Amino acid sequence: MAGFSGKLRAFFALPGDPVTPGDSAVRINLVPFSAKVKGKIGTYVLGNWPSEKRELSNPAYANPKGFIQVTQDNLSTRISEHFTLGQFLTKDQLSIWPKYVVLQSRLLDKLELTIQELRKEGHPVRGLFVMSGFRTPAYNEKGVGAGGRSEVSRHQYGDAADVYPDDGATGRMDDLNGDGRVDLKDARILAAAADAVERQHPELVGGIGIYPATSAHGPFVHIDARGTRARWGA
């Protein structure tokens, strides 16, 4: 396995891209970005990335290189020790196959290292539940607006996920501090672990956002590896 965590089981590359010497992970070939025509690949709707609509000078918002094709056969493919392809799918178009995902190895590495850090700090979590992984621009656009999603959300670039530990399979974050409540104090423990990972591995620097519970969900933490430091939330 590969990555700073030693937990990556796959890497993603366009056909013809060179293999990193000594990389023991399995190669998954990407469908090139040019395969998207009028916002779709086949019948799967992706939409258009922000840089297709207007010029953006920040290279972090360049169009993705390509897409991972996800089928009902490879849905459960383990791409790192604790994560599968299916966990990062956009949550719409449920009956359409194949689907397409943008996913960056550095995000998986950061999530794996965050699990390790939580364990090191005395929170023996089994993994992290991915509440939201990749979002197609078409899906992301539905939530753009005041108090909602960003038009340039990192979820569209495959290096962001909203996560929480849920070993009890309750659909809510675990009570990490053991005080009998699930609240922002637990989310801050998760955020602090991701922050510690960044200090140890500045190559994985990115955004960490803490979100409180609502009537629809419990507290969670946004973690991304955008390449520049960003912090927000409670």
| pLDDT tens-digit map of 135-179 | 999 999 987 765 667 888 999 999 999 999 999 999 999 999 999
Share of the chain above pLDDT 90, in %: 85
The pLDDT of 88-98, averaged and rounded, is 97
* 45-65 as b/e: b if 16+ CB within 10 A: bbbebbeeeeeeeeeeeebbe
Distance between CA atoms of residues 168 and 191, nearest Å: 20
Distance between CA atoms of residues 204 and 140, nearest Å: 24
Domain ranges of the chain: 10-233
List the structure tokens of 164.
């929480």
pLDDT of residue 145: 64
**Pairing state of beta strands 40-41 and 230-233?**
unpaired
Angle at alpha carbon of residue 153, lines to 159 and 113, rounded to 5° = 25
Tell which residue, 214, 210, 213, has the closest CA to residue 190. Answer: 210
Within 10 angstroms of residue 94's Cβ, the number of other Cβ atoms is: 8
List the structure tokens of 168.
């009890």
pTM for the model: 0.94
Distance between CA atoms of residues 103 and 126, nearest Å: 22
